[in-house]
Amino acid sequence: MNNTRYGEPCPLCHAPLLLDLLQVRSAQSDLPVAERVTRRRCSGCQATRPEQWVEVMREHYGDT
């Protein structure tokens, strides 16, 4: 199941990051068994500073 929620502040502008999550659920329970962040987004920084955004995401999280 895919879900989106707010995460820690953006390293560039300090607005909350939007986290795209992949949740794995058990057949025996409605509660998520595991969550994995598949993408981090900051609409302002990705649009206005795309090169800095990619560089900072690699430094902080090892991804873009």
pLDDT at position 45: 92
pLDDT at position 63: 66
| C-alpha dist (Å) from residue 47 to 3, 43, 44 | 22, 6, 5
Closest among 47, 14, 64, 26 to 6, alpha carbons compared: 14
pLDDT means per 10 residues in the chain (64 residues)? Answer: 86 93 84 86 92 92 72
pLDDT at position 26: 81
pLDDT at position 61: 85
Q: Is this prediction's pTM over 0.85?
A: no
